Every structure is written in C-alpha cells, then in structure tokens.
Structure 1
Amino acid sequence: MQPVLNVEDVRRVEEALTDVGVSISELMHRAGISAAREVLGLPKVENVAVLCGLGNNGGDGWVCAEHLRGKGVNVTCVSPLAPDDIRGDLARVVASSAERSGVPVMVAPPRDQLEELLSGSDVIVDAMLGTGFHGLPRAPFDIWIGCVNESGARVVAIDVPSGLSAQTGLAQGACVAADLTITMLVLKPGLLADCGRDVCGTIVVAPLAEQTERLVVDADPVAWRADLEDYAGMLAPLSYADDKFTRGSVLVVGGSQRFVGAPVMAALAAVTLAVPAPIAPIVQSQLLEIPVLALPASDSGTFSSEAADKVAELARKRSCTLVGPGMRVNAGTVAVVSRLLTTEVPLVVDADGLNCISRLTSNALDDFPELIRRQRPLVLTPHRGELGRLVGLQDTPPASLTAAMEAARRIVWSDGGSEICVVAKGSATACVSTEVAVLPKPGPASLATAGSGDVLGGVLAALLSRGEVDNADLPVLSALACEIHGYAGQLAVERRGSRGVMALDIIDSLGLAQDALEEDIAFPEGNPKE
C-alpha cells in the first residue's frame, strides 16, 4: 500500500529529514532534479517553459530549469520578480543560480508575451503554488493558470497543480490541469479526490531520500492507497467441488412501492431478495433467477414492524445480509434495521438503512456506539450526505475526502471494535476501520448514476458471504469490492460510452471485472499461467 499524508504531516517529515542530515536546500535540489527527469522522460521535449512562484515550490522550478538547460533543453523561466528580488532565501539562491547558468528569465510578462512563449513550448512546468496553497490564486498566477490551460502544451505540475488544495482536493478558482503531477515525498489526499482527480493527470511520487519511507510511516498516514497485491488471498478460487450451498448466500432487504428498482439492482449482484409484499410480484417479474420473498407491509407500501422478526430469521439462514436499498424511512423500516443490528450475522447497511440508523440515533450515531457494537462484520456504505446525517453534519456534510474520513472515524472510534468498517463513498472512496483507512483505486465518473451505489452494496455483501472474514481484513475486502465495482464501470464505459452507462450496464460487467482483477492480482506483471 502507498501511504497518504495530510499536508501538515508532510511538513513534519521534512523537518525529520533535516534532523537526519537532509537539509531543506538539498530537498529542493532533489525535487527540482526529479521533476526535470520526468520532463526529460517525455517524448519530443525541445522547448520548455517553467512558471515559478515565489516560495519553495518556485525554487523547485528554478532547479528543474537549470538541470534541463544542462541537458541541452531550450528552457525559459517565468517569474513575478527578478531572481535578486525574491524574498525567500532558498528560492532567491536557486533562481540566481539558474539565471547565471544561462536560463533566460521573463519577469512579469504581459499576457500576450506569455501566451506566445507557452504556445511555442513542448512542455510547461507548473511550479507556481505549492502544497501550502489554499483559497483563490492571486495575480499574476490566476492569469498564468488560464494561459497554461489554454496553451495546448503538455503540463507537468511540481507537487500539486497550482490552484488545487493538496489537502482537500478542492479548487476555489482557476486551477492548472496537468498531464503529469510529480509529488514530493508522499501522496497527499487532495491529489486523489474531487477536483484532484480531474487535474492531476498521472501521479508520480518522488521520495527524495532513503529515509523517507520510514519517516512517512512514523508520521501516521491518514490513509493508505491500495495496490493490487494487497488483495492477494482475498478471493478464494472457484472449485469444481463447490455447489450453490457452499458458495455463500446473500439476503437483500429493501424496496418500497416508491422505490422498486433499488433492491433489484442490489439483488442482481447478490442472491435472495426480501421486499414488502405489494411489490413482490413486480420484483419477481424482473428477477427470474432470484428468490423473492414477500414480507409484511404497511399501507404505504413499505415494510411494517411485523417484518422485523421475519427478516432476522431469514438473515440467520444466510451468509450475509444487505439492508437498505429503496426501503424508505419510517417506523416499520427503522424496526427492521434495528432488529438486524442485534442479529449476529455479517451485515451491510446502505442507503435508507443508514438513514434509519440516523433516525434511531437522532443524527448522532457516534453517541450510540452500543447500537453497532457486535461480533460479526458490519459494513456501513454512506455517501457524503448520508455520512453527514449519521454524525450530525446534515447541514454541512463532508465536502472533501479528508473531511469524510474524519466523520467516518468518529463512528468507528466510538465503536472501538475491529468488526466495523465505514465505506465513505465519494469521488474517492475511503474504507475506514479503527486501525486504517484504505483508498481503493477509483472508478470512472460514469459510476455517478442512479443505482450504482445499490450495485456496490450487492458486491460487498457477495464478497462477505464467501466465507469467514477476519475483521482486520474488512477495510481491504471492502476496498476490493469498490475496485471490482469501479472496473465494471470502466468496462461498461467501453461498451456504452462515458455518458450512456446505467446501473444494469455495471451489473452486466461485474463477472468480467472480477475475473480480470483476479488475473491481475495473481499475475501483476501480466505473466500468463504456466
């Protein structure tokens, strides 16, 4: 797994590196040279423009420019101030060094002159605003960012695309859209989520020092980015000795007269479906292969309170239960969810199942840990709005990956056990347990379609049903489910186009996605079986 550090913790790593003999000056030189090497690795690089800010990020850019010139590249630096006028000592020293080496410098150029330079560049290096940036870019950088994005040249960002918050992944104003981001020391959360996914392009981590890995781990990463090898052993291979009774069974509990389709989407990725009696004939007509069980319903077409004990009885006979898709929130559905939480079976709670928990706890789940404290696995799968409701942030739900992880940790830490995992869904999803937050590789933007979350719930329940799962493995297993779901979404895009994907298309691709991932996990280098 690859560690992810909050920006403030990255600064502590830099300080720790100075304590072991790697100065900030040396780090700047290594960062600039690392960026230059990435530029040199691109095809057809003859003319390069380096846009430098006034801080250490700009210093990295000056070092990069001097190294490129030494390799025979025609490089020009653009700066708001002449090198001798830069206030920061380190940045001024490396800027002056680059100028003395023969790097041409354009100081505060008018827009037309800058546009002319960029239009003739093969690559633009963005070294304007670094990881400490937040808010709105000020002049001249707001103008420069627009010129970069309009240039049509390939863009390499040093540490973070200028205008993007490396912590939150949000951009309040103009933001560079990079083709490649070389980030120093370690991944930052803002590169992996929200606007970061749109503007970072390919991300390369430059560790800069042999001590970095140890110091980053000591800094207590906020999350870990999963690699394929981390899923090894999560999926048992199919056996000819298996039958339908040994491969696990899933119960999906959901649906209402208003939302008939949601439980269908989940059940197509699982096994048995229990729904309110009035919609059972409709659902059965759509699911010829899946048993559909009709349970007591209220006049409104939702589960009645009488369904609670019947659901618990059914759950005890299954390997895993998923509750929530399309079931709505009222006294009857709250009773069903409450009863399932007291039943010691592996349980996935999604959609309205989560909203029922919010109703049960008056939007303060972290104040009622006894409700979710149990022995068997419990996976909650909230999107940011549902997560906000669970912890009293319904008016200001988490707006970033880091905020979502903080909210999820309030839940798992209040529980305190290893049996719970919160899958905080978003543009980047975090699978959060008491010990770790695992970030699966995200799927395409096309996953943001109605029913997609229901499909993910079904995939999660199906994986949990396959056998005894060590509670410590819950976040990794949950991350694997997210990757299967995401890869299925990518396969659906290839078949339907990026704007034409629907939940059924994702379902149709689940089997192929899982086969492909299993093959990649077993043979990460693409080596065929012997």
Structure 2
Amino acid sequence: MEIRRGYNMITSKEMRALEVNSEYFGVSRLQLMENAGKALTDEIASRFDPEKTRIAIFSGLGGNGGDGFVAARHLACLGFKVEVMLAGRSKDIVDEEARRNWLALRVLKDTLVFHEIYDSTLVHSVEADIIVDALLGIGLEGVPRAPFSQLVKKMNEAEAFRVCVDVPTGMNSDSGKVLGEAVKADLTITFHRVKPGLKKAEKDVGEVVVKDIGLPKEFERFAGPGDVSLVVKSRPPEAHKGDFGRLLVVGGSEVFSGAPALVALSALRAGVDLTFIAAPERTAYAISSMAPDLITVKLEGSHLNPRNTAVIKRYLETSNAVVIGPGLGLHKETKDAVVGLVEMIEKEKIPLLLDADGLKAFAEYKLRIRSPLVLTPHAGEYRLLTNKKLPMDFETRVEDVRKTA
C-alpha cells in the first residue's frame, strides 16, 4: 500500500472526538465537510479530464455521504458529468451537515442526475468511468444492510475506477476487518490521518492518499469536549448509583476549601457517580455548604495529619480512584500523611492523581509508584519533581514533558 504523506494513525473514536473539538475551537463540522469534499474533488481532478469522465457518487445518509454531496457539487462545477446515488430517501438524511449539503446540491438538478435508492429493487447498473464510494465511512461495526450491501456489490461489478472516501464501505476502519463484502478500492482518499484498518487491510484499499481538511495540531494538543467523549461511558437504563465510579478527594486545609470542592464538582460533571472529600472538619463543613451533592469526610485537626489515615482508609477501600493534593497545605504532618496515603494506595493498586500540594510532598520523598498515576504539575512543580526548568518555547516544553513521562 502506498501512503502519501507521513502521518501517525488515528482511530474512528479519536477522529470523532477531534471533530467535536474542532467545533469547540471554532471550525464547524460543516466547514470540515466542505474541506473534505473539496479535497476529494481536487484529487480526482488531478487525475482525470472533466470532458471525458463520467462520475457516479454513491452516498449514504450520514457524514460520509455529506462528503460525497460536496464533492458532487465541486466536480459538477469543474465540468464532470456527475450522477448521485443516494442510499435511502433524502428525507431520512440523519446528519445535519449532510442534509444542508444535500439541499444545496438539489439546486443543481438540471446539471446532475439524482437517484434515491431506498429499496434493493431500485438498484440498477451504472455506466461511469469513476465510482465514488461515500456510503458509510469510518466506525462501521456490523455487516451493511440493504440497499447498502447491493450497492457495494454493484460498485464492485462495475468496470470503473473506484475511489473510496475515508475507508471502503464494508470495512471496519480500525481493525481492517471486512464485514460482509467491502468495496474493492483502486484509490482510498482518507482525511487528516491514516485509519488503522487501511494499514491492516492494505491489499483491499488500493492506493491511499491522506488529505488535510483544516484540523491543526493544536486541536489535538489542547483538551476539548471531544476528549471527554472518549472516556465517558454510556449509561444503561438499569444503572444505579455507584456503577460509574466512586472518587475520593483528599484535600483542603484551614486556609483552602475551594480547591477540593472544585475537583469533586468537576468529577460529578464528568460522570462520576459519587465523590467523597476528606478534609479537616471545619473545612469539610464549609465544603458541604457549597453544593448538596458533595459528601464530606470530616477529619480531626486543622490540617491533614497521620492520625487521619485510619478514617481515610475506610473510604479508600470502596473508591475506584483517588485525588490527593488540592488545597492541602504544606505542614510537616501533612507531608508525612501524604506519603503514608500514597504507600497505602500503592498497596491497594488504586489509580491515583497527585495535584498541587500533594505533588510537593511527593517530590520530597520520590516514592516509586507502579499503580496507575497521573501527575498535574505546573512549571514550578515540574521543576520540584525533576530538578529541570522547562523552556519557554511551547513545542520544546511539550517534548521535554513527554520525555520525562
């Protein structure tokens, strides 16, 4: 398989998340669809003569079909003879961006030929020099049903050059597994990065070309709502409290009460079922007043100390993850308590996030931790942990942190 442009691969879930982030950062899915359809057009136009080429575009009802609609419009503008085969009824187009592009395409009814194929009896032979497969795209899980299965067969039977959009219909974009029958591609034009399935099924995808659609690297580097979608689980109707996690937050002191509360509220908003905040007694009462769904464990003293360990241990045993650090303060007793808790958590193999003052205590003792661990240092805390000063240049800073991790 020839792949033009060297990119790392991206899974279907990661690509969906990136599209959500793109919308969040200001580049809409409608714009991405326009870019994809135009990129598809440019690649075809670079290889074929508009005056001598007939193109049949097989489009589905989702985003992949929308890419096909955009390409049909641009190809028609270049003078190609274009026929659009819609796999279903236009009223059933499920993707909003695809629907808008379909409406724009219908204005060209005197230029293009349209077929709505919502029944297998409506599938007919196609005479074209190029067939564009824009039926299903990434994320396919099951065997395509009628009329998609018949359309795949019809495309494979045609004596035409077959161009697949993102991934051949009938192929899982992550595993490369063929589900039923897949379109036999001569050329696969995929967007942003290569999908893993294209590499695994290289004999079935033809030449692979990767096209930019306007997703800069910053959209992947900075966190957005798409990243949350990668980890949030769907909730079945029969789910009950506790099925989606219990988080213990150890934080707060006589000075700081807001930090542990914000951590717990963020966890609840992200989908965690129950959060428990272990904090000094007076601080815990203040936290309880901030929101009715914050459960507090009231610890003896004005700051975390080793005497609190036994109480916290009872909650550790029922927690799926622990956060230590926000607002703890830097009393000598607090640092000793943090070390004791970390050792206890390590023994139980509970995932741990160390933040703020928890990081500072950890930096002094340099414990070796084999359990799942997340560290969240700012530049100053990073220096305490590693004895290294981070450079000001952002790219170099990212690379230094990656090497340390």
- What's the TM-score, normalizing by structure 2? 0.50
Cα deviation code 1:14-56 (max 9, x no counterpart): 1221122110011111111111111112234521000000111
8 Å contact from structure 1 (residues 13, 215) kept in 2: yes
Counterparts of residues 411-450 of structure 1 (less than 5 Å): none
Instruction: Kindly indicate whether residue 90 of structure 2 is the aligned counterpart of residue 83 of structure 1.
Output: yes
Instruction: Kindly indicate whether residue 163 of structure 2 is the aligned counterpart of residue 169 of structure 1.
Output: no
Q: How many residue pairs end up in the alignment?
A: 219
Distance (whole Å) between structure 2 residues aligned to residue 109 and residue 13 of structure 1: 32
Larger radius of gyration: 2
8 Å contact from structure 1 (residues 186, 216) kept in 2: no
Gaps of 5+ in 2: 1-5, 224-369, 371-405
Instruction: Kindly indicate whether residue 55 of structure 2 is the aligned counterpart of residue 16 of structure 1.
Output: no
Match of 1:331 in 2: none
- Pick one of 89, 100, 116 that aligns with 1:107: 116
Distance (whole Å) between structure 1 residues aligned to residue 136 and residue 149 of structure 2: 11
Give, in angstroms, the shift of residue 81 of structure 1. 3.0
Distance (whole Å) between structure 1 residues aligned to residue 7 and residue 92 of structure 2: 39
Alignment partner of 1:192: what SS?
helix
Instruction: Kindly indicate whether residue 55 of structure 2 is the aligned counterpart of residue 48 of structure 1.
Output: yes
- Pick one of 126, 129, 133 that aligns with 1:126: 133
8 Å contact from structure 1 (residues 60, 127) kept in 2: yes
Match of 1:189 in 2: 196
- Pick one of 215, 221, 227 that aligns with 2:219: 215
Give, in angstroms, the shift of residue 85 of structure 1. 4.0
Distance (whole Å) between structure 1 residues aligned to residue 43 and residue 63 of structure 2: 19
- Spell out structure 1 runs of 4+ moving beyond 4 A: 109-115, 216-219
Distance (whole Å) between structure 2 residues aligned to residue 2 and residue 217 of structure 1: 15
Match of 2:203 in 1: 198
Counterparts of residues 505-524 of structure 1 (less than 5 Å): none
Match of 1:385 in 2: none
Distance (whole Å) between structure 2 residues aligned to residue 16 and residue 66 of structure 1: 27
Match of 1:39 in 2: 44
Give, in angstroms, the shift of residue 189 of structure 1. 0.6
8 Å contact from structure 2 (residues 25, 219) kept in 1: no
Q: Percent identity among equivalent residues?
A: 32
Distance (whole Å) between structure 1 residues aligned to residue 221 and residue 210 of structure 2: 15
Give, in angstroms, the shift of residue 214 of structure 1. 3.8
8 Å contact from structure 1 (residues 32, 62) kept in 2: yes
Cα deviation code 1:276-306 (max 9, x no counterpart): xxxxxxxxxxxxxxxxxxxxxxxxxxxxxxx
CA distance 1:12–1:87, shift in 2 (3 Å): closer
- What's the TM-score, normalizing by structure 1? 0.39
Cα deviation code 1:109-155 (max 9, x no counterpart): 77787543x2x201001000110212201111111101111102001
Alignment partner of 1:3: what SS?
coil
Give, in angstroms, the shift of residue 97 of structure 1. 1.1
8 Å contact from structure 2 (residues 34, 67) kept in 1: yes
Alignment partner of 2:84: what SS?
strand
Amino acid in the other structure paired with 2:196? P
Cα deviation code 1:197-226 (max 9, x no counterpart): 1221111111211x433434668xxxxxxx
- Pick one of 123, 144, 150 that aligns with 2:151: 144
8 Å contact from structure 2 (residues 88, 118) kept in 1: no
Match of 1:25 in 2: 30
Instruction: Kindly indicate whether residue 13 of structure 2 is the aligned counterpart of residue 4 of structure 1.
Output: no
- Pick one of 152, 155, 163 that aligns with 2:162: 155
Distance (whole Å) between structure 2 residues aligned to residue 89 and residue 215 of structure 1: 22
CA distance 1:216–1:191, shift in 2 (3 Å): farther
Instruction: Kindly indicate whether residue 186 of structure 2 is the aligned counterpart of residue 179 of structure 1.
Output: yes
8 Å contact from structure 1 (residues 44, 122) kept in 2: no
Match of 1:64 in 2: 71
Gaps of 5+ in 1: 220-413, 415-530
Alignment partner of 1:147: what SS?
helix
8 Å contact from structure 2 (residues 54, 130) kept in 1: yes
CA distance 1:9–1:114, shift in 2 (3 Å): same
Counterparts of residues 127-526 of structure 1 (less than 5 Å): 127-193=134-200, 196-209=201-214, 211-216=215-220
Give, in angstroms, the shift of residue 12 of structure 1. 1.7
Distance (whole Å) between structure 2 residues aligned to residue 74 and residue 114 of structure 1: 20
